[in-house]
Structure 1
Amino acid sequence: MYYFASDILVEYVRSKIIQKEARKMRITVTDSEFEDYIEKNIGSKRLSPVVKELILSEILADKIARSLYREANIKEGQITAYYYLNLRDFKRPSQVLLERYMAENLETANEVYYRLSRGQPIRGLKGVKEGQPMWYSIQTLPYLVKKELGNFQIGAVTKPIQVGDGYVIFRLADKRGSGIIPLEEAKPLVMERLLREKRQEVLKKWFQEVSKQYSLEFYFGQR
């Protein structure tokens, strides 16, 4: 507990420096940005004032890093070089493209299943919402979905699966085997990783420089 407390203190001081420097740079965080971050990354809103301070600083630090190193700084040659140097990181497992249909009740869900199984359109069917088709790794699919899709033939349809108060039906629209993601397809992912790494480097150097403006000394006793 003692070492944990000391780490928190150091992080808290670091957060205060980041907040002060962010004000100098006129970088701010809106209430909606803060709430969105909590919802996506934390979940619980029952947070202590200290934790909120640390979270605020993390958001500010990310904004500072983005201002210091922009996407335009990444050149095409860097993307290509990073891709081939880290080729193993750009493998993908066998995947299936699933269409998702949500129905309000079992009767409607059965009608959706009936039509999809026979290749009939469901347009105009009340009480049905169609989700965006998404690629899923076969290995990570829930057992029930795998069982319903059988041997993963294109066009296969699951029977209605109850989810909460409604039902969901999946249709297999496409599939692809495992292998290395082609460079052109991987570029957005490579760019994202490169930016994240470069921004972390730049932010670290930036903080080391601004910290020189502050006189910081920590004394932690020993037990």
Structure 2
Amino acid sequence: MLTTPALFAAASGFALGLGLIIAIGAQNAFVLRQGLRLEHVAAVVAVCALSDVVLILAGVLGAGAALERLPWLVPVVCFAGAAFLLGYALLAARRALRPGALLPDAAGARTGLAVTVGTCLALTWLNPHVYLDTVVLLGSTASTYGEHRWQFAAGAGLGSVLWFAGLGFGARLLRPVFARPAAWRVLDGVIAAVMTLLAVSLAVRGVSGA
């Protein structure tokens, strides 16, 4: 039976976990687009949720403290993530300029499962913010809850699972809006802009060594 401190730790983890992942980013934009296309949604949701849970557990187990002792690794990850995000931004921009190719049910428009999962893994594990926020921040915060750190981790993990499931499977409710190519053009234009800004910010952090 969970005690009041344990419930408080779980609720705190749930709130902080949601707060860190709800902001628009590369991962969320990808999950949203796959949900709108009804394309490998279950696999994408599973990869994102499972990755988050693994990273949260790693943070609680002390990986966050270990990462802080390897400052040279942060710029390396920043540059790798920036290069990948910039490439993805260019692909989104190309889709936005070709509205005829944006229809979710267009013949030949579907992407294979392996490519989709690979892209999802890259967007998740090549993103330095994942390590700085999920591993370092959540991990260090969890340590403040002492014996209840695992309840904190469970709450954070639950928040991630519910968020990605809601985003991926709930996106289909917006499909009537995206029945027009113009709507997909706007979405991919926004995704391209977000990815470019994230890539630039990561490159800047890599140069500064932060």
The structure that is strand-richer by fraction is 1
TM-score strictly above 0.5: no
Relative contact order, higher structure (CA 8 A, sep 6+): 2
The structure that is helix-richer by fraction is 2
Q: Give the structure-1-normalised TM-score.
A: 0.21
Q: Give the structure-2-normalised TM-score.
A: 0.22
If you compute each CA radius of gyration, which structure gives the higher value, 1 or 2?
A: 1
